[in-house]
Structure 1
Amino acid sequence: MEKAREYLEVSKEESESVTRLTIHPHRVGLDCSFYERFTLRGIQVDRVEPGFVSCTFKIPPRFTDKNGSLANGAIANLVDELGGAVVQVDGLPMNVSVDMSISFLSTAKVNEELEITARVLGQRGGYSGTIVLVKNKATGEPIAEGRHSLFGRRPSKM
């Protein structure tokens, strides 16, 4: 228990950095939320095609664990965001995650650049399946592979 408490303890510097954050209220269509600003900043979209998205992402310190490695939660966040983005339809509400399965294959360190690809595996009705592959851009080594299931409204065919 002491080890867990020690791990979760926040330093004075970390605490002060949080107090300096500017958090604007989320207003649809006018401003992005704190979550979007915090987690999606730094993702550069390289290619978009129907059912496919390719991005690069340089790992910031806020996405690492205390060993300086990319945190598993950060990987899960990337799988969730990019898996959802690849099936998003403009004008419709965001799809909701139904299930995610992630294989953590390797690690990456702060400031390493990742190559992330997401593609649609299939769709039936409002249900969509995607796969997200996270690789080290310099070495090509796979970091993680995530399968993401989502549900949402589909555009009308009328």
Structure 2
Amino acid sequence: MERVKNFLELNKEEAASVSQLTIHPHRVGSQCSFYEDFALRGIRVDRVESGFVSCSFKVPPRLTDKNGNLATGAVANLVDEVGGAVVHVEGLPMNVSVDMTISFLGTAKLNDELEITSKVLGQRGSYSGTSVLVRNKVTGELIAEGRHSLFGKQASKL
């Protein structure tokens, strides 16, 4: 337990950097939140079709672990965001993630270009299921495969 505590503890330089951050609350219709800016800055949407989204993403230093690999939490975030984007309906609130399963099959290094694709597996009532693949754009290596279940309001039929 002590090892984990020491690992998570910030050193003086890190603590000073964190104390200088200004984090404003997110309001619908305003600029992006700190979280969205930090995690999603740099993602580029390449193609959108009905039930399909394709994006590109270059691995930035802020999302790598101590070994220089894309952090697993960052991969989970990409699966969550791109999986949710494929079922999002403009004008309705964002869907809420109910369940995610991610298989980590490879690693991505700093500055690797990734291709992230998501497709709808099915929808029943307010529930949706998506599949998300994260690949190295140059080598084609599969970095992660995610399955994502979401719940959200449906468009009115009136």
Shorter-chain TM-score category? Answer: over 0.9
Structure 2 counterpart of 1:97: 97
The Cα offsets for residues 54-81 of structure 1, whole Å up to 9 and x where unpaired, read as 1111111121111111111111111011
One-letter amino acid of the counterpart of residue 25, structure 2 = P
The Cα offsets for residues 57-111 of structure 1, whole Å up to 9 and x where unpaired, read as 1111121111111111111111011111110001111111111000000111111
* Structure 1 counterpart SS, 2:94: coil
TM-score relative to the length of structure 1: 0.93
One-letter amino acid of the counterpart of residue 156, structure 2 = S
Separation of aligned partners in 1, 2:17 and 2:53: 33
Structure 2 counterpart of 1:39: 39
Separation of aligned partners in 2, 1:21 and 1:50: 39
Residues 1:85 and 2:85 aligned together: yes
Structure 2 counterpart of 1:113: 113
* Structure 1 counterpart SS, 2:57: strand
Separation of aligned partners in 2, 1:28 and 1:52: 25
The Cα offsets for residues 105-151 of structure 1, whole Å up to 9 and x where unpaired, read as 01111111111001111111111000000001110000000000001
One-letter amino acid of the counterpart of residue 139, structure 2 = T
The Cα offsets for residues 32-73 of structure 1, whole Å up to 9 and x where unpaired, read as 211111111110111111111111111111211111111111
One-letter amino acid of the counterpart of residue 25, structure 1 = P
What is the Cα deviation at residue 20 of structure 1? 3.5
One-letter amino acid of the counterpart of residue 117, structure 1 = T
Structure 1 counterpart of 2:68: 68
Separation of aligned partners in 2, 1:103 and 1:134: 10
* Structure 2 counterpart SS, 1:131: strand
What is the Cα deviation at residue 2 of structure 1? 4.0
Unaligned runs of at least 5 residues, structure 2: none
Residues 1:24 and 2:24 aligned together: yes
* Structure 2 counterpart SS, 1:129: strand
Structure 1 counterpart of 2:53: 53
TM-score relative to the length of structure 2: 0.93
Residue identity over aligned pairs, in percent, reads 74
Which shifted more, 31-40 or 123-132?
Answer: 31-40
